[in-house]
Amino acid sequence: MSTFCEDRVCIVTGAGRGIGREYALMLAAHGAKVVVNDLGGARDGEGADLGPADEVVQEIKAAGGEAIANGCDISDFSAAKEMIDQAVETYGGLDVLVNNAGILRDRMLVNMQESEWDAVIKVHLKGTFSPAHHAAAYWRARSKAGEPVDARLINTTSVSGIYGNAGQTNYGAAKAGIAAFTVIASRELKRYGITVNCIAPGALTRLTEDLQPGEITDEMREAQSPRWIAPIVTWLASRESADVNGRVFEASGGVLAVAEGWHRGPSVEPVEDPTTLGPIVRDMVKSARLNAGMNGKDMDGGLE
Please give the pLDDT value at position 221.
Answer: 66
Catalytic residues: 171
pLDDT tens profile 265-299: 999 999 999 999 999 999 999 999 999 988 898 77
Please give the pLDDT value at position 41.
Answer: 64
pTM: 0.92
- The CATH class of 9-259 is alpha beta
- To the nearest whole percent, how much of the chain has pLDDT over 70? 89
Domain residue extents for the chain: 9-259, 265-304
State the SS3 of the chain. Answer: CCCCCCCCEEEECCCCCHHHHHHHHHHHHCCCEEEEECCCCCCCCCCCCCHHHHHHHHHHHHCCCEEEEECCCCCCHHHHHHHHHHHHHHHCCCCEEECCCCCCCCECHHHCCHHHHHHHHHHHHHHHHHHHHHHHHHHHHHHHCCCCCCEEEEEECCHHHHHHCCCEHHHHHHHHHHHHHHHHHHHHHHHHCEEEEEEEEECCCCCCHHHCCCCCCHHHHHHCCHHHCHHHHHHHHCHHHCCCCCCEEEEECCCEEEECCCCCCCCCCCCCCHHHHHHHHHHHHHHCCCEECCCCCEEECCCC
Q: Does residue 214 have a pLDDT over 70?
A: no
Please give the pLDDT value at position 169.
Answer: 97
pLDDT tens profile 20-39: 999 999 999 999 999 999 99
Mean pLDDT confidence for 37-50: 73
Is 216 or 110 the better-scoring residue by pLDDT?
A: 110
Q: Does residue 202 have a pLDDT over 70?
A: yes
Please give the pLDDT value at position 153.
Answer: 99
Mean pLDDT, the chain, as a whole number?
92
